[in-house]
């Protein structure tokens, strides 16, 4: 079955730990069922998520996520065919701590919009090779 990798960015709405834990636990349960893997970079000012798996499963899940009122301004950054998964072991890896990519000021100034598709894919490549 052919794989795709989809990346989007959004702005959290009502971000706190209980909300995040709820999102992650439902995500992991559903994603395991749907053969979706990936990672969610999550911080108060940014969600950046990669979803990878069979195209129909990933696009359907992305549409559900897009309509979720726990975030705003969902922007699709990349959607590509892939040969291999970056996060084969993770039904949704979360990365709350490593905010090495952008400062809050940079996010507020539109750093994610300004980043290229390759820049953003490189963020996930780096995350997938981190311990």
Ligand X SMILES: Cc1cc2nc3c(=O)[nH]c(=O)nc-3n(C[C@H](O)[C@H](O)[C@H](O)COP(=O)(O)O)c2cc1C
Q: Which residues bind ligand X (CB under 6 A)?
A: 23, 26-27, 30-31, 40, 47, 49, 51, 61, 64-65, 68, 70-71, 92
Smallest separation (angstroms) from ligand X to the CB of 89: 15
> Any alpha helices (H) in the chain, and if so which ranges?
17-33, 55-66, 104-108, 111-114, 117-129
Q: Residue 79 forms beta bridges with which residues?
A: 6
SS3 64: helix
How would you class 113 by CB atoms within 10 Å of its CB: exposed for 0-12, middle for 13-18, buried for 19 or more? exposed
Whether the Cβ atoms of residue 88 and residue 37 lie closer than 8 Å to each other: yes
Smallest separation (angstroms) from ligand X to the CB of 27: 3
Cβ proximity to ligand X, 27 vs 120, nearer residue: 27
Smallest separation (angstroms) from ligand X to the CB of 91: 8
Smallest separation (angstroms) from ligand X to the CB of 101: 17
Give the C-alpha separation, 105 to 7, whole Å. 22
């Amino acid at each position: 079955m052919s794989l795709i990798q989809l990346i989007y960015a959004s702005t959290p709405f009502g971000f706190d730990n209980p909300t995040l834990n709820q999102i992650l636990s439902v995500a992991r349960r559903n994603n395991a069922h749907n053969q979706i893997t990936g990672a969610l970079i999550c911080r108060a000012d940014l969600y950046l998520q990669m979803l990878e798996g069979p195209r129909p499963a990933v696009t359907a899940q992305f549409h559900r996520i897009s309509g979720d009122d726990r975030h705003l301004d969902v922007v699709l950054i990349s959607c590509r065919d892939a040969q291999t998964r970056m996060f084969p072991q993770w039904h949704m890896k979360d990365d709350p701590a490593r905010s090495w990519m952008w400062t809050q000021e940079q996010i507020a100034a539109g750093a994610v919009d300004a980043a290229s598709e390759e820049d953003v894919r490189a963020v996930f490549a780096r995350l997938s090779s981190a311990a």
